[in-house]
Amino acid sequence: MSKASASSVQRKRVSEKNTSLFDFYGKPRFLKALPLSLQHLLAMIAGVITPPIIVAGVVGASMEEKLLLIQIAVLASGVCTVFHLYGVWKFGARLPAIFGVGFAYVPTLVAVGAQYGIEGILGAQLIGGMTMVVVGYFIQYIRHLFPPVVAGTVVLVIGLSLYDIAIRYMAGSGNVNAPNFGDPINWIVAVVTLLTVLIAAQFGKGVIKLSAIIVGIVVGYLLALALGMVSFGNVASAPWIAIPQVMPFEMEFHAAAIASMIVICIINSVQTIGDLSATTVGGMNRELKTKELTGGLLGNGLTTTISSFFGALPTATFSQNVGIVAMTKVISRYVLALAGIFMILAGLSPKFGAIMTTIPYPVLGGATITVFGMITMTGIQLLVKDEMSARNMTIVGLALALSLGIASVPSAIEQFPAMLRDLIGGAPIVVAAITAFTLNIVLPKKSLSDEAKEREAIAKADEEAAKAESDKLNQKLSQNQNLSQSNANTHAD
């Protein structure tokens, strides 16, 4: 082939290169993809850094450990996202989805961390991640055991159980005994942050609307800075670059912690099904394939398992990014991969983590209470996908009553064996999941139409019984009348 012909073929190949934003395999120009990528980054960053900050406060981590938890959470989120976009063998969803350290685990992590520290969390996470891998292999056979009434109940309890964390943060600290807890200045900063999030989300346009949480954090942070609530003491001493270490924390294995983590990991698998389904339906106009579902669950289980060795918390899909994909229809994995790469670069810099720790608690509380509210509403949305039959309302009502009731009165189970007390006392999500799952299996499957027919049958039976009773009474009256007439005739004779 001549040089001219080769050059012509090369130009043709370049011109035929897929640059579409709306094709999973499309690779648009960098400058075109960059703002769309940053949009995903802004939507996920607050959700990534807040769980390690919360956990660090619960387990009493030192500032160095807190920085490490944030750094590795950001790094793991970036690696996990890129891994799922491209996949390895059977692992990875290969869908336009963002993965990272998720909020759904926070109630369980808080409960386990308060009892057993970060070592207990990571040990339980290792087993929980393996459980997710097993669920991934068998999901096509057990998917029917987690209908919307079960998944929705659990997600609803997750949201409700996070509110006290947000309120404590708005009041000034995760610890109610901390100095200046409840100080009005803390509430002023928190409320300003919250109002900013609401205004940006409801009245903003474009990137401002999609990144309302980040906008709120920026405004709240600037106000806190002006009020002297921000300290940069740890930023200067933090190194610019640091490579993650294997086993920065030891692992401990406690039966109650492992049981709690297994439950939340299984439930998170159900949430992953929902998020991946929403991605394909909303962004790609098709149903989720079994191969993609299996790969997503297997990959999430694998990354959660591996993350435990580096001190990163469990990973999950990010619903807010699913919403962006569904709204914009931008499904190019190149766009989402850029967001993942930026996260990886940020995760390699402890300086970035140190800057994140300067965000005051009231700012985090004011920004994240809206996220917790969204989680609650997501649970309600899942619930209404099923009929609100008497059966389903019984499942939801009893799961809520038991889980939140026991969490509100922990002394009610003080006489229980220690392992059982630790399992169900600290994390209401565990009680909710066990209750909803069990009732869904045990209670007879009855739809609204079935229940209507049952009521009709009861009403008909009541009518027939009443008619039979009436006929019997009339017959008895008739017999009495005949007997009276006969007696009268006999007397006359």
pLDDT, position 11: 41
The overall average pLDDT reported for the chain is 81
Q: For the segment 389-403, what is each residue's pLDDT rounded down to a tens digit?
A: 888 899 899 998 988
Q: Residue 487: which pLDDT band, with cuts at 50, 70 and 90? A: low
Question: Using CB atoms within 10 A of its CB, is residue 409 exposed (0-12), middle (13-18) or buried (19+)?
Answer: exposed
pLDDT, greater one: 408 or 72 = 72
Whole-number Cα distances in Å, 260 to 417, 457, 480: 16, 44, 72
Query: How confident is the model over 238-256, as a mean pLDDT?
Result: 86
pLDDT over 90 at 58, yes or no? no
Query: How confident is the model over 179-208, as a mean pLDDT?
Result: 84
Q: For the segment 138-165, what is each residue's pLDDT rounded down to a tens digit?
A: 887 877 787 888 877 877 887 787 788 7
Measure the CA–CA gap between 50 and 57, rounded to whole angstroms: 11
H/E run at residue 99: strand 99-101
pLDDT, position 453: 80
pLDDT, position 175: 64
Q: Residue 422: which pLDDT band, with cuts at 50, 70 and 90? A: low
Instruction: Please tell me whether residue 39 adopts helix, strand or coil conformation.
Output: helix
Q: For the segment 287-318, what is each residue's pLDDT rounded down to a tens digit?
A: 778 899 899 999 999 999 999 999 999 998 87
Structure-token match 């690696």, residue found: 79
pLDDT over 60 at 93, yes or no? yes
pLDDT, position 176: 64
pLDDT, greater one: 382 or 468 = 468
Q: Residue 407: which pLDDT band, with cuts at 50, 70 and 90? A: confident
Structure tokens at 148: 């919307």
pLDDT, greater one: 27 or 469 = 27
pLDDT over 50 at 8, yes or no? no
